Amino acid sequence: MKYAKPLPGYLAQRYHGWKATAFKENEVWYRRLADDGQHPRAMIICCCDSRVEATQIFGADPGEFFVHRNIANLIPPYEVGGQQHGTSSTVEFAVKMLKVAHIVVMAHQHCGGAQGCIDMCEGNAPELESKDSFTGRWMEMLRPRYEQVADIDDPEQKAREMEKQTVVVSLENLMTFPFVKEAVEQNGLSLHGLWINIGEGVLEGYDPATGRFAPV
């Protein structure tokens, strides 16, 4: 792979800083994690967006969260023989191998993926409609939710609502995985939905009773 380059200096420098401080002070814990394997209590599914750092928001230490991050925190439906293995394998690994107690799906304000889906649905994103747009194809699974937000006039409000729909669709799709459904029904796993407004630091949780989100 002749194209690879050495790690940028600023990252190498920070790594050495981490090694001499946080790693040094916690080396007992790091060694324990290496020797005993991981036993994370929760799986977090959130967006790749650089502003959404779930481990910081929840003060999670190494070993606590098994984290899958993709565009718009989407989980496709269960499909044997399908090919959405990248995401499905993370759910499978978390539930069947690690037996996590919680799966938390966390969406966020200003999600480019959710906005892209709205744009597609409103005919404003021909580039996403192209068959070679991976992002467009990935967002297809959110598309049916557009009808939930189509009547909202205010574009900001519409976007926020579509962001929250990413959580609902993912939670619903999670329940199509037989091993997830079984674990949930046997009280071996609980599912949780969140949406964060990173600009104001407001975290909202999905309330199954009302089908709405409310501040935590």
Residues 7-46 binding a copy of itself (CB under 8 A) are: 7-35, 37-43
Query: 95 near 183, Cβ under 8 Å?
Result: yes
Chain length of the chain? 216
CB 48 within 8 A of CB 70: yes
Would you say 49 is a known binding-site residue? yes
Contact positions with a copy of itself (CB under 8 A) in 41-80: 41-43, 48-53, 55-71, 74, 76, 80
| Nearest Cα residue to 123 out of 136, 135, 111, 110 | 136
Binding mask 90-119 toward a copy of itself (x if CB under 8 A, else -) reads xxxxx--x-x-xx-x----xx-xx------
Nearer residue to a copy of itself within complex by CB, 98 or 152: 98
β-strands 202-207, 212-215: how paired? antiparallel
Task: Mark residues 139-178: x for contact with a copy of itself by CB under 8 A, - for none.
Answer: x----------------------------x--xx--x---
Q: Using an 8 Å Cβ cutoff, are 117 and 142 in contact?
A: yes
Q: How many residues bind a copy of itself (CB under 8 A)?
A: 124
3-state DSSP call for residue 184?
helix
Asked if 138 is part of the footprint of a copy of itself (rule: CB under 8 A), the reply reads yes
Q: Which residues are annotated as a binding site for Zn(2+)?
A: 47, 49, 108, 111
